[in-house]
Structures are given as structure tokens and as C-alpha cells.
Amino acid sequence: MKRSNLDLWVRKTEGLPVLDRAAVEALQLAGLNALLERERARGGFYSDLPGGLASLSDLASLPFTTQADLAARGSGMVLVSQSEILRVLTETSGTTGPAKRVFYTPGDCENTVSFFAAGLSELVFPGSRTMVCMPFSGPYGLGELISAAVESLGASPIKTGVGKSCGELSDILRRERPDTYVGMPAPLLAMLKVCGRGTLRRALVSGDACSLSVEQGVEARLGTRLFPHYGSRETVFGGAVTCPAHEGMHLRENHMIAEIVDEEGNVLPRGEYGELVITTIGMAAMPLIRYRTGDYTRIFKEPCPCKSPLLRIDRVTRKGPGAEILKLDEALFGLDGLVDFHAKYAGSAVEILALTLAEPAQAEIEAAARRALPEVEVRVTARKCTRSDRPLYPGKRSLENAEAL
Ligand SMILES: [Zn+2]
């Protein structure tokens, strides 16, 4: 088994003669202590914390940073001067929650491009043509960062963006002849079902949770294993990526420390499922200490078959309102004839609009949705997908209006 390309990237980026677990942890402790010292010196958001820790296990004694902290005090967490800030990303948490803002410097974005390139180099080769199906939102947007990483590998990005219709995607596949895809998982499966794989052979998915049924559906149609990636705004998009072993995603451990905690905030041992908590030591503009991501996963106990010392996380799921859409994804995307669906609450019932390949099998879709959400009344409207249909979610999938319950 070939070792993960991330190993070489971490070793080169950090100037390490060898990369083993001791080297990774020494790097993390040094990064964490440098961050604590900087915070202490500037009297910033984290200045009440100790100026240094004796060991990585002491990290568990520090308080958490929550999404509410980020919304209330985001700009107070910024470690660099305003003139060094390149980009501010704003995201509302839920429909009523306050907006949280995450700040980046050019260096933060360059680090992400180089991490993306290392992860993508497992499936994108010189001369490859890569469909980039992520939002293009101006300089240093996500689509732009991925495209820069693709170009750095000697490959060509096909800047597709998000929200293209079935007909437009079909034309791009035929005209541009891509061999690789980078984008969200459910729209990839929908495209493969409607347009066929064409020249596409390999894919990396990110930007949304990927259910097992979507993963299996994509792999069956592409004829190759999928490369899932995990990232968030707080990790400047790049957090963890799959290696050729396809057994979990290796964490970007030179730039972040990951912990898994239970509901009470106790750190869980390797192998146990809980909430992912990250300390982003490698981010210059806005490093976070023990940030509760709201994402649920586990850190594998066993070493990866690729022998990388970098820890791996499992498939990422959600809890609370975010969990229901994942249950529906799991149940409905396993149906061969279903292309895409949108779900929302209407009072206490869930209304689903489904797009199908052939004549809609409404009863079959309804039965699967009821098995997924047995507590709720489910109503399904299905119709045949046409060339002008676009993905029913432009971004992250969610069961909308959940607070109406
Ligand atoms: Zn591996």
C-alpha cells in the first residue's frame, strides 16, 4: 500500500527529517504553545488561558470555543491586523442564529491550496481535466482555491461551479471530457444518474456530509473508489482527506489538533464516536482553540493500512435537525430511479419533492422516506427530471423550517 501523499507534504512543509507520531505531536505542541504565547502577549480573546502547556494532553483542561463565541466575538479572535486580512466569510448558523465570521490571510489560503494539492494528487495527475463543481465567489473563493491546486499539479480545472442544469452538465461532460470531479456528493450522484459517467473516472467529494448510499452509488457508477474530504470555514476549507487505502480521512495535523468529546465535553478515547473539536494552530488570521464543530465522527484507533502516522476520522454526521436530512439521504439515494430530492417541514409533516429518472415511483419513494423518518408524517411529490432541472439544493442539504415544529 502506497503511503498517503499527505505524509510527504507535511514533512516538506514543516521541514521534518522523518514523519512519525512523535514528530507530529511535537509539532502540534510547539504550534499550540506559540499560539498561546501570542494570545497572552496581545491580550486577545484567549489571553486568560495559560501561556503554554507541558503536554498535548493538557489541552483537555482548556475551555471550549463555541459557535456562539464565534458569532458574538469573531473579530475579537483575529490575531493579525485588519490590513493583513484577505477575506471574511460570513455564515448564518440556522435561520435565526447570529452570523459567524471567519477571517483569512493570503498565507492561510496558500496553505489550503497546498494541502488541497497534496490530497488531490492521489487522483488528479499531470494532464488531468478536473471538473470543479464548487462555488466560484471571486479571488480566494473555494472554487478558485481548488482550481489553483489542480493547476499546481499540471492539470486543467474545468470551472463548472454549482447549480448547473442537467442539460448544461451533460454538455460540459461531452465537450470538456473531464476525467476527475471535485464537488459536493449528492449533485455528483445525480449527474452520474442522469448523464452517465462519460469520461469521468475519479472523484473527490466535500462541502456536505456524504451518506453511505451516495458513496456506494457514485462508486458503482464511476467504477472506482471515492475520495471523501472534510473541511469547514474554520479550517479554511481543508481539514482531512482520504488516502489510497480509502479507510477514513487523514487529518491535516500540522495545522490542526483534533479531539472527540462526549455531550458533557469529556475527551473520548480513539475509536469512540462523539463531536469533533478542533484547535487550528496553523491558521494565521483566526486560530481557534478547542472549537466545537457540531460535526460527529470518531478518530480511528488502528493505524491506516497506508502506514501514515497522521490520524484519520470516519464519515462525518450531524445531530439534531441536521440528522434528519442525512437519514433521508441514506434511504432515498439508494433508490436507483431517484435523481434528487428536496425536503421541508410543513407544520409537523415533511414534504418531499423528488426528481426521478423514469416515470416516478411515488409509492416506493414514500415508503423509503417513511422508513427513514417513522415518527413523522411524510408526503412525497415526484416528477420526472428534465434537462432544465438544477440541483434542488445549491449548497449544503438541510431539512428546512425545522424550527416550525
Ligand atoms: Zn492512509
- 305 CA distance to ligand 1 middle (Å): 6
Closest CA to 101 of 113, 92, 111, 110: 92
- The reply to whether 155 and 58 lie within a common domain is no
Neighbouring residues of 268: CB distance < 8 A, sequence distance ≥ 6: 260, 261, 262, 274, 298
**Does 103 or 53 have the greater pLDDT score?**
53
Average pLDDT along the chain: 93
- The reply to whether 225 and 133 lie within a common domain is yes
Q: Say if residue 71's pLDDT is above 90.
A: no
CATH of the domain at 193: 3.40.50.12780
pTM above threshold 0.85: yes
- The reply to whether 131 and 75 lie within a common domain is no
Q: Give the span between the Cα atoms of 161 and 171, in whole angstroms.
A: 14
- 261 CA distance to ligand 1 middle (Å): 23
| 313, 341, 358 - which closes a domain | 313
Q: Give the span between the Cα atoms of 145 and 109, in whole angstroms.
A: 7
- The reply to whether 139 and 165 lie within a common domain is yes
User: What are the tens digits of pLDDT across the range 202-248?
Assistant: 999 999 999 999 999 999 999 999 999 999 988 889 999 999 999 99
Question: Residue 405's pLDDT is what?
Answer: 40
| 230, 263, 286 - which closes a domain | 230
- 245 CA distance to ligand 1 middle (Å): 5
Question: Residue 98's pLDDT is what?
Answer: 65
* Burial class of 250 by CB neighbour count within 10 A (0 to 12, 13 to 18, 19+): buried
CATH of the domain at 333: 3.30.300
Q: How confident is the model at residue 260 (pLDDT cuts 50, 70, 90)?
A: very high
- The reply to whether 50 and 76 lie within a common domain is yes
- The reply to whether 309 and 366 lie within a common domain is no
Find the range with the poorest average confidence among 32-36, 85-89, 349-353, 354-358.
85-89
State the average pLDDT over residues 239-268: 97
- The reply to whether 115 and 210 lie within a common domain is yes
Q: Are 151 and 132 in contact (CB under 8 A)?
A: no
- The reply to whether 145 and 50 lie within a common domain is no
Q: Say if residue 95's pLDDT is above 80.
A: no
- 236 CA distance to ligand 1 middle (Å): 22
Can you give the residue range of the structural domain that contains 244?
5-104+232-313
Domain count along the chain = 3
- 59 CA distance to ligand 1 middle (Å): 26
Find the range with the poorest average confidence among 28-37, 38-47, 145-154.
38-47
Q: Are 39 and 49 in contact (CB under 8 A)?
A: yes
Q: Say if residue 92's pLDDT is above 60.
A: no
| 214, 230, 246 - which closes a domain | 230
Q: How confident is the model at residue 359 (pLDDT cuts 50, 70, 90)?
A: confident
Q: How confident is the model at residue 89 (pLDDT cuts 50, 70, 90)?
A: confident
- The reply to whether 161 and 253 lie within a common domain is no
Question: Residue 17's pLDDT is what?
Answer: 95
Q: How confident is the model at residue 404 (pLDDT cuts 50, 70, 90)?
A: very low
- The reply to whether 165 and 205 lie within a common domain is yes
- 377 CA distance to ligand 1 middle (Å): 43
- The reply to whether 81 and 185 lie within a common domain is no
* Strand 129-133, strand 180-183: pairing: parallel
Distances (CA, A) of 263 to 194, 275, 326: 42, 8, 20
- The reply to whether 99 and 117 lie within a common domain is no
Neighbouring residues of 269: CB distance < 8 A, sequence distance ≥ 6: 301
